A and B are shown apart, each in its own frame.
Chain A
Amino acid sequence: MRKFTLPLAIMLAVVVVFALLMNANDGAAPAKFESQDDHAATHTMGDPIVRDVVVSTGAGVHIDPASLPAPGAINEWAEIRTVETASTDEQTRVRITYQVFYGVRGPETAELPPLRLRFEGDGGSPDVEAPALPVSVMPLIPPGIPDEKVAIRALRPAEPRTYSPYPQWLALGLGAFGAGLVYLMWMRGLLPPFAGPLPFRRASRELQRLANQPSPGRAACLVLHRALNETAGEAVFASGLEAFLDRHPEFGRLRGTLVEFFASSRRLFFEDGSDGEAYALCLKLARQARRLERRTS
């Protein structure tokens, strides 16, 4: 009895140590396989299959990218569309998206091939193999129906999209555009009911009409005086020019021309009646004032 007991105990010890060593190895790189297939258990041609392989790893261990499968056809009925990896200190997740191109006449079972992933790190790590994944494939056409009798499946309706923010943005944009347009038209006097008085714009038009008259200086001065008075809301005289410019600083740059205009008007109406270049001066002043008036009205 003792003769057999010692060798048996030694063998048992070796087996236990070996088993412990195997367990130790398994703990260093355990593999957890997941198959996330939102198309239930069966697939038809064209369905995607998402497979997640999660590998627990130790610190300093990382997957060898060369061991990852490359996108493309893997056999006559399936291909890999995408391969994505995400690693942390404790685990590495490999997500592979397959697509089925298997046309069958009746239900069949096929297999996605196993995966062999290689890890590198301090002390090295063994390869991890994910087993083959069985896939049930169903025909697109129910069995037993001749092709000509097959009712063509209705077109897939467009996916409903949420437009909720767009109408608001659209309304806001249109509103801003409309307001800008109205403002622009108002500034340029293209909205008569709301344009307000634009005396120099009107004066410019009236002066254009005077161009063909034999001696338009007097009439031109009158037109411009009216425009000035209308702009000021009161009669403007030469002595009141500075007060006018204080109230309407937009015409400040015309001070010199305005002084010249009042001097010309004084000669014309109160002194010797000499016309001189009154018309040209009025035309020039009206054009300049009209431009300034547009920007400020």
Chain B
Amino acid sequence: MSADLKQTQLADWRQRALGFEREVGKAVIGLDQPIRHILIAVFARGHVMLEGDVGVGKTTLLRAVARCLGGAYERVEGTIDLMPNDLVYHTYINEFGKPQVDPGPVLKHGEDLSVFFFNEVNRARPQVHSLLLRIMAEHAVSAFNREHFFPYLQVFADRNRVEKEETFEIPSAARDRFMMELHIETPADPALRRALMFDPKFHDVDRLLDTLTPGLLPYREIPQIAPVIQQSVAASETLQQYALDLWEATRRPAGYGVKLDGIDMDRLILAGASARGVSMMMRAARVAAWLDGREFVVPEDIHGVFRETIAHRVFFNPVYELRRTALIDELLDAIRQRVAAP
């Protein structure tokens, strides 16, 4: 592919991506940043975990994304008695009184499955998490004595942070498979809150989603354009060094002069960001640069995805883990402030 053709193709895709962002924004108001992050994840081929209080719009957001993305969409509710097989096949007695086995939500659409939404993922057992891990990492699952592939699959999951009873915390290995963890909150803008409360448009979610243009992005072509984006957006030597410093700072923050009040910085970190994590961070940063119309990454691109791609990959010692919610933001902010580029 010639360079000019590639540039034209990238420019066209960028317009489509921005159109997709605008369309989703019609149904979900006050969540511009999460929409941008999901868009980045789509083109960086990463899975996304949403976290937030009940009723803040997580499911609506993902349904809107699935509709505008096109392709087959499946949704599973996490429950304590959900077993891995429930995702793969479904057994029942058919109308002729005979037992029948049908493909489950994962296999039902074959390779056309583009969005798999696992609602309340932390209610499912670890065995289910394991299956999900494989699907996410390998885009494949074994069933009926053969491998099933899902080349266009993107997994979205959500987790409510209110209830802790009968839930299973997702292991760090599983969390590391998610490119981003997005925190969803009710919009702070009073005008948006008023609209959500009083505008009838937002009261009927199904009708609202029906108004969105489906399949704005040709989902089958995304796996081809995603590597082109990664190859086309350059990361200079200085930028690479900056990203390496950020990574190292998540592992040894004290070495970069990062200090938090009342925290022993030498004992805070149990494990810093993983290699997979920072790799995903850079993939996301490249997509962010592309969406911003640039062919090179700048530190601000990394800043824009730093929390979303790194926060769930940094683990504290148990003595600090209970204060994680407050500490992680402080830590990442301090790292951004202390690590300079160039």
Decide if B338 touches A273 in the complex (CB within 8 Å): no
Q: Mark A258-297, 1 if CB is under 8 A from B, else 0.
A: 0000000110011101000000000000000000000000
Cβ contact of A225, chosen from B236, B298, B342, cutoff 8 A: B342
Decide if A239 touches B297 in the complex (CB within 8 Å): no
Q: Which residues of chain A are near B236, meaning CB under 8 Å?
A: 269-271, 273
Decide if A270 touches B296 in the complex (CB within 8 Å): yes
A269-B238 contact in complex given A222-B342, A225-B342, C-beta closer than 8 Å: yes
Q: Which residues of chain A are near B18, meaning CB under 8 Å?
A: none
- Whether B270 sits at the interface, judged by CB under 8 Å, is no
Closest A-chain residue to B295, C-beta based? A271
Give A240 Cβ to nearest chain B Cβ, in Å. Answer: 9
Closest B-chain residue to A265, C-beta based? B342
Most chain B CB neighbours (cut-off 10 Å) among A222, A266, A270: A270
Decide if B342 touches A235 in the complex (CB within 8 Å): no
Q: Mark B172-216, 1 if CB is under 8 A from A, else 0.
A: 000000000000000000000000000000000000000000000
Cβ contact of A237, chosen from B296, B297, B338, B341, cutoff 8 A: B341
Decide if B300 touches A225 in the complex (CB within 8 Å): no
Decide if B297 touches A225 in the complex (CB within 8 Å): no
Instruction: Find residues 195-241 in chain A having any chain B CB closer than 8 Å to their own CB.
Output: 221-222, 225-226, 229, 234-235, 237-239
Q: Which residues of chain B are near A237, meaning CB under 8 Å?
A: 299-300, 303, 341
CA distance A269 to B340 in the complex (A): 13
A238-B300 contact in complex given A269-B239, A273-B236, C-beta closer than 8 Å: yes
Give A275 Cβ to nearest chain B Cβ, in Å. Answer: 14
Q: Which residues of chain A are near B339, meaning CB under 8 Å?
A: 235
Total of A-B residue pairs, C-beta within 8 Å: 39
- Whether B337 sits at the interface, judged by CB under 8 Å, is yes
Q: Which residues of chain A are near B342, meaning CB under 8 Å?
A: 221-222, 225, 265, 269
Q: Which residues of chain B are near A269, meaning CB under 8 Å?
A: 236, 238-239, 341-342
Give A234 Cβ to nearest chain B Cβ, in Å. Answer: 4
Decide if A270 touches B340 in the complex (CB within 8 Å): no
Give B154 Cβ to nearest chain A Cβ, in Å. Answer: 29
Cβ contact of A235, chosen from B238, B297, B298, B341, cutoff 8 A: B341
- Whether B220 sits at the interface, judged by CB under 8 Å, is no
Closest A-chain residue to B298, C-beta based? A270
Decide if A225 touches B303 in the complex (CB within 8 Å): no
CA distance A270 to B303 in the complex (A): 15
- Whether B336 sits at the interface, judged by CB under 8 Å, is yes
CA distance A231 to B64 in the complex (A): 46
Q: Which residues of chain B are near A265, meaning CB under 8 Å?
A: 342
A239-B239 contact in complex given A270-B296, A270-B297, A270-B298, C-beta closer than 8 Å: no
Q: Which residues of chain A are near B300, meaning CB under 8 Å?
A: 237-239
Give A44 Cβ to nearest chain B Cβ, in Å. Answer: 90
Q: Mark B23-38, 1 if CB is under 8 A from A, else 0.
A: 0000000000000000
Sample of 19 A–B contacts (CB below 8 Å): A221-B342, A225-B340, A226-B340, A234-B337, A235-B341, A237-B303, A237-B341, A238-B298, A238-B300, A239-B303, A266-B298, A269-B236, A269-B239, A269-B342, A270-B238, A270-B239, A270-B297, A270-B298, A273-B236
Interface residues of B (CB under 8 A from A): 236, 238-239, 296-300, 303, 336-342
Interface residues of A (CB under 8 A from B): 221-222, 225-226, 229, 234-235, 237-239, 265-266, 269-271, 273
